[in-house]
Structure 1
Amino acid sequence: MASVDQIQRSASETDKASSANDITSNSSSASASTPPEKSTALNDLIYPADSYTQGDHVYWGDLPLGRRLAWTGKQSNEEAARELAHVGRMFKRDPLSPISAYFSNYVVTGMGLFVEGYVLFSVGNLTPLFKAVWPECWKNHQVCSPGWTAAVDYLEIVGIIVGQILVGIQGDWVGRKFGMVQDALIMTLGSIMLTAMWGTTLQGWVICYALSLFIYGIGVGGEYPMTSTRAMEAAANGGAGDRLHRGRRVALAFLMQGWGQLANQVVLILALLVTHNTLDAPFNKVSTQWTFRIQFAVIILPTLYLAYLRYYKLRYNDTLSQAKKRLNTSGYDIKSLKLASSHYWHRMVGTAFVWFANDVAFYGAKIFSGVFIATINGGTATLGETWLWNLVNIGVSLIGYYMGALFIDHKMYGRKWMQANGLIAIFICYIISGAVYPQLTQPGMGVHWFQAIYFLSSFFTQFGPNTTSFLLAAEVYPASIRATAHGVSAATGKLGALLAAVAFNYISNRDKFYLTAPFAVAAWILTLICVPDVTGLDLREQERYWAKVMEGKASEYHGVAVCPRHLSLWERVVLKRHRAYDPEEDAKDKKRELQALYESADGEEVDKAPLSDEEKAFLRNDLGGFFATEAKLNKPLQGGGEAHESKLADLEKRLS
């Protein structure tokens, strides 16, 4: 069965070769007097067509603005046309195969975020129902301690923070598979506890509820670094598939969180209709018990099945083990963590604080949703109205998720500008809401404007920092500490959620907007200064650079990881790391590395390498021949290299 990976890479040798040639066929040359160089297999490895112009071999990030716009636009359009054509061929062979490919590549990868989104956001959905049925506990606090009812939210967030840091470290220490299977099992246990929670008193039940959410939260927290790194590294050695679609792969896995929220809201509505016959009050205790227990129980088997899939079915890239082998590290890479703390501290400030600020806005909006819905309903809202409007808001958010996946890999927009533009849009929405709050909450046109602004903020949260922070927190760090760095950034973000949960209890509705807006603009500034734009950058280049950093020879790396296009403003202006960038020297370095690889992978070592028989023969014979004589080095292979196009793409992946 065809997979989306095939869509991302090469549908056929003809598609790939024509796409590579057409991308630059009409682009102007940097040196018009220099005739185009004949394509060779070696040049295809050193100057891949998705990143370099053909003929003069100029990296896309080095092109003048006008030419860069034309080149990237043409490449993007032709890649989209190639993918759509391949989807069309899949549909003709089997109409369900594109859907099957989407599920196997993205839905399964993001299923952990689906189940955590389902449970995590159910807490906010259930609270209004609990307040209506047990006001003496949840509203008036006559029989329940207000500290324990508040702890339902706090302990959930604390559990998430623990999981993000703990499992992030485990993911880099023991491995991605261990962390992912462990997360699924912990969430299964938590789901069972939430379904069966009980107490001899209401206070005891609330305590059991809070502790169950803490356990579940540990699994939820681990999902963040594990899903991000696994989704990203699944294509990390995939050559063009990595460079062109890495962000989309992560974003489509991450948006499963939104589908989880939608599924939970639908299940809650259906469960209450079945047990209570209506969404209107008064609610009885029996139907409420059935409603919340059913919606927790529904997710138990899918979560347990997720553990099965992760242990027995999913394939895991060996990016981590390769990185440790290059760095001569066994166990946890403490050396890289210490060095990254000084070498990349500014990136950590960017990824962590942006996530913090985003969660102040994101979770603040969730907390504020009841007030918003009551406002647009004339000052009051029933539980049914609240849940139905929440469905609409989730739908708007899902549009933002998918728009983010669509644009996140475009070289002229990408992650950094999506994050920056999303943050400034959120700032504008919130500062307007705070400034004219009395007018926006008036019946009539004011409420309609308030509704539009609120939905716009939800859209730009997903078509912006909520999606990009999930990707960048792993993408801008080396593989051996990637999960740890992501976990630390995500845990910092949850402190923002905790701030919103606490602060929003003590300030007015209008001041909630004034509190959130400055965080958004501060995160926007830090994005521009501290966050690098790694759109289109091969992750292996970051590993090549990091290997030199670990050796204390960072200045000897001349590749695109230090191209000004892929460095933050701080790294360019203050640290001046772009000064080491030298494309010609880097090409020589790559050539020497390939020759060393060929010489070290001779004989028995080639036989042991994870390559097909055809690829082993290609490595021994064709690639070796390049280093035999300069004449053969520049001799094009069968039809200008097109006959080896698909093999080269896969070989490029495996040789890393």
Structure 2
Amino acid sequence: MSLRLFHRLDTAKTQYYHFQAVIVAGMGLFTDAYHLFSITPITRLLGHIYYESHGNQVPPVIESAMLAVALLGAAIGQLIFGRLGDLVGRRRLYGLALMLMMAGSIGCGFSVGTTKGCILASLGFFRFLLGVGIGGDYPLSATIMSEYANKRMRGRFMAAVFSMQVFGILASSAVTMAVCKIFGRIYHPSPKDPIPKEADIAWRLILMLGVIPAVMTFYWRMKMPETARYTALVEKNVLQATQDMERVLDMSPGQIPEGHFLQPSQSSYPLFSKQFFLCHGRNLLACSATWFLLDIVFYSNALLQSKIYKKYLPDEDPSKAVTALEAAFEVARLQAIVASCCMIPGCIAAVFLIDRVGRLPIQAVGFFFMAIVYLSLGVPYVKYWNDHTDPLFMFLYGLTFTFAYCGPNTTTFILPAELFPARFRTTCHGIAGAAGKAGAIIGVVGLVMATQGDYKKGATPTQGDDQKEASRTRVALIILSGICLVGMAVTSMFTKETKGTSLEENE
């Protein structure tokens, strides 16, 4: 089978369709982040609506469960859609993943029940469904972008797709702030009546608005042809692959130079065979382990925000009368600040460096600096940082997100889509991603168990309780530092750097 088509794809000039593919593929990551991160301000609304007797705070166990159920769905979606993506094609499943996300978004808003428990259980079910769609989108988006891109810019394009996650976080924060402001002006809640019935509508509306980006990209996903590499290498139809690429890229058969021939033995062995593990087992283990370790840290850090922001949130101060909508607004505002000041610079640096420096150096250095920052936060935490008001503390805390995005949070998404043969590509990406989500579940559940206070429900925490919680947070930060160092060490397990190489060379 001739590789001349792949040579042309690898050397194609950057053109409009590449940028269109970034947006279309990135919208899945955008929707993913919108829902995973909007749950933080929404739990503030839920706390004021359903947990007034608990100090207007959703119990940490419930909050972590809301995150964990979506992550469990994502892990299952990555495994199922990852395998099916290699069996029936990337494009055929691309719309299905988006439809599951749309159904989950709308279902979350229509969570119903006669009691608080029924409503939260319904919300959990639809978040699980949403998670399956989100998980399915990960291996498909990463693989489609890698198979469309030229080898010179492939890393940048894939990093740009992943950076849409940050814009999803910003969108969720902006929508939450807008909804809270609009509802606050229309219904005029007051400290004497801080929980209007409209607050129950507000959180549902915020979640349902997450369906808009998915709907906007559904048409374009259905118009995308199957990737040339899947059609040629898996379906063995080179002519169809060439015709598909001629429709969307500026290329013609006359422009395609002759290339080498693909040896059948390169892709004839079955998945999980002895030869598969000899050729790809080490890379699969490295991809899965680094994603697993990274997500323990990243999602633990997402939950730590509720403790870090504590001094900046007015509803944490019993002397201040704050409405439910105002409380959610402040959480969303702080989340937007962190995304704008810390995450976006990391994404920009990743896009700039990924094809210059390489994936593995960025991943190792990112893990290393994350470890240093977590250690700097953890060791003096009880003595110096516990009140979280020091600007240096907030600066260092923000750096954890910067180094994550200009490091392993981006590269763990990219590497599995580059290292494996076309017939195993989405499967292996799904396995690595599912390992990451398993780490995320361990992170969010383990952090709650490690840092929650001993005081009883409804009781006011004493100074001794605060000291115990601070000590637990200190230990958690030091553990996160150690996990980052392990991640840096595991990065050395990868067999090769993928910068500037074709996907066929990486096989």
Alignment TM-score > 0.5, same fold:
yes
Mapping of residues 535-614 of structure 1, within 5 Å: 535-543=499-507
Q: Which residue is 1:520 aligned to?
A: 484
How far apart, in 1, do the equivalents of 2:94 and 2:486 lie? 33
How far apart, in 2, do the equivalents of 1:321 and 1:455 lie? 44
Give the partner amino acid of 2:349: M
Mapping of residues 180-219 of structure 1, within 5 Å: 180-219=94-133
Give the partner amino acid of 1:349: L
Say if 2:226 is the partner of 1:316: yes
Unpaired runs of at least 5, structure 2 = 237-261, 318-326, 451-471
1:498 is displaced (CA, Å) by 0.5
1:178 is displaced (CA, Å) by 1.6
Mapping of residues 52-63 of structure 1, within 5 Å: none
How far apart, in 1, do the equivalents of 2:279 and 2:53 lie? 51
Instruction: Determine which of 292, 295, 318 is the counterpart of 1:356.
Output: 292
Instruction: Determine which of 317, 327, 335 is the counterpart of 2:270.
Output: 335
Contact 1:280 1:383 in 2 (8 A): no
Give the partner amino acid of 2:392: W
Scaled by the length of structure 2, what TM-score is found? 0.79
**Backbone CA RMSD of aligned residues:** 3.3
Instruction: Determine which of 427, 439, 459 is the counterpart of 1:484.
Output: 427
Aligned-partner SS, 2:225: coil
Q: Give the direction of change, closer, same or farther, for the CA distance of 1:101–1:483 in structure 2 (3 Å limit).
A: closer
Say if 2:375 is the partner of 1:431: yes
Deviations 1:170-190 (A, max 9, x none): 100100002211101111111
How far apart, in 2, do the equivalents of 1:424 and 1:276 lie? 44
How far apart, in 2, do the equivalents of 1:121 and 1:484 lie? 27
Q: Which residue is 1:473 aligned to?
A: 416
Q: Give the direction of change, closer, same or farther, for the CA distance of 1:301–1:294 in structure 2 (3 Å limit).
A: same
How far apart, in 1, do the equivalents of 2:189 and 2:335 lie? 14
Q: Which residue is 2:362 aligned to?
A: 418
Aligned-partner SS, 1:170: helix
Contact 1:186 1:218 in 2 (8 A): yes
Deviations 1:216-261 (A, max 9, x none): 10000011101100111012xxxxxx22100111111111111011
Deviations 1:348-395 (A, max 9, x none): 221111111111111111100111112467994754433222111111
Give the partner amino acid of 2:20: S
How far apart, in 1, do the equivalents of 2:123 and 2:503 lie? 42
Q: Give the direction of change, closer, same or farther, for the CA distance of 1:448–1:350 in structure 2 (3 Å limit).
A: same
Give the partner amino acid of 1:323: L
Contact 1:351 1:531 in 2 (8 A): no
Q: Give the direction of change, closer, same or farther, for the CA distance of 1:145–1:271 in structure 2 (3 Å limit).
A: closer
Deviations 1:124-172 (A, max 9, x none): 221122112211698799xx99976653222211100100000000100
Contact 1:376 1:448 in 2 (8 A): no
- Name which structure has the greater RCO, CA cutoff 8 Å, separation 6+: 2
How far apart, in 2, do the equivalents of 1:389 and 1:140 lie? 19
Contact 1:234 1:316 in 2 (8 A): no
How far apart, in 2, do the equivalents of 1:333 and 1:163 lie? 27
Aligned-partner SS, 1:204: helix
Deviations 1:563-592 (A, max 9, x none): xxxxxxxxxxxxxxxxxxxxxxxxxxxxxx
Scaled by the length of structure 1, what TM-score is found? 0.62
Aligned-partner SS, 1:537: coil
Q: Percent identity?
A: 25
Give the partner amino acid of 1:511: V
Q: Give the direction of change, closer, same or farther, for the CA distance of 1:374–1:287 in structure 2 (3 Å limit).
A: same
Q: Give the direction of change, closer, same or farther, for the CA distance of 1:512–1:175 in structure 2 (3 Å limit).
A: same
Give the partner amino acid of 2:448: N
Contact 2:143 2:425 in 1 (8 A): yes
Say if 2:395 is the partner of 1:452: yes
Mapping of residues 244-283 of structure 1, within 5 Å: 244-277=152-185, 283=194
Q: Which residue is 1:28 aligned to?
A: none
Give the partner amino acid of 2:339: I
How far apart, in 2, do the equivalents of 1:203 and 1:176 lie? 39
Instruction: Determine which of 137, 142, 147 is the counterpart of 1:233.
Output: 147
How far apart, in 2, do the equivalents of 1:336 and 1:327 lie? 18
Say if 2:216 is the partner of 1:305: yes
1:494 is displaced (CA, Å) by 0.7
How far apart, in 1, do the equivalents of 2:157 and 2:163 lie? 10
Contact 1:112 1:223 in 2 (8 A): yes
Contact 1:167 1:179 in 2 (8 A): yes
1:464 is displaced (CA, Å) by 0.4
Q: Which residue is 1:112 aligned to?
A: 28
Q: Give the direction of change, closer, same or farther, for the CA distance of 1:193–1:488 in structure 2 (3 Å limit).
A: same
Say if 2:101 is the partner of 1:165: no
How far apart, in 1, do the equivalents of 2:427 and 2:281 lie? 14
Q: Which residue is 1:289 aligned to?
A: 200
1:109 is displaced (CA, Å) by 2.5
- Residues paired across the two proteins, number: 441
Q: Give the direction of change, closer, same or farther, for the CA distance of 1:291–1:243 in structure 2 (3 Å limit).
A: same
Give the partner amino acid of 2:225: R
Q: Which residue is 1:8 aligned to?
A: none
Q: Give the direction of change, closer, same or farther, for the CA distance of 1:46–1:374 in structure 2 (3 Å limit).
A: closer
Q: Give the direction of change, closer, same or farther, for the CA distance of 1:138–1:360 in structure 2 (3 Å limit).
A: farther
Q: Which residue is 2:463 aligned to?
A: none
Mapping of residues 389-408 of structure 1, within 5 Å: 389-395=334-340, 396-408=342-354
Give the partner amino acid of 1:192: I
Q: Give the direction of change, closer, same or farther, for the CA distance of 1:377–1:201 in structure 2 (3 Å limit).
A: closer
Deviations 1:41-90 (A, max 9, x none): xxx99999x99xxxxxxxxxxxxxxxxxxxxxxxxxxxxxx98xxxxxxx
Give the partner amino acid of 1:250: M
How far apart, in 2, do the equivalents of 1:156 and 1:276 lie? 29
Deviations 1:390-441 (A, max 9, x none): 111111201211210111011xx11111101000010001011111112442
Q: Which residue is 1:153 aligned to?
A: 67
Larger radius of gyration: 1
Contact 1:138 1:149 in 2 (8 A): no
Q: Give the direction of change, closer, same or farther, for the CA distance of 1:531–1:463 in structure 2 (3 Å limit).
A: farther
Instruction: Determine which of 136, 139, 152 is the counterpart of 1:222.
Output: 136
1:199 is displaced (CA, Å) by 0.7
How far apart, in 2, do the equivalents of 1:232 and 1:477 lie? 11
Contact 2:113 2:122 in 1 (8 A): yes
Q: Give the direction of change, closer, same or farther, for the CA distance of 1:407–1:190 in structure 2 (3 Å limit).
A: same
Give the partner amino acid of 2:413: F
Aligned-partner SS, 1:504: helix
Q: Which residue is 1:126 aligned to?
A: 42
Q: Give the direction of change, closer, same or farther, for the CA distance of 1:279–1:402 in structure 2 (3 Å limit).
A: farther
Q: Which residue is 2:324 aligned to?
A: none
Contact 2:313 2:331 in 1 (8 A): no
Q: Give the direction of change, closer, same or farther, for the CA distance of 1:105–1:306 in structure 2 (3 Å limit).
A: closer
Moved over 4 A (4+): 44-48, 100-103, 136-141, 144-150, 278-282, 326-329, 375-383
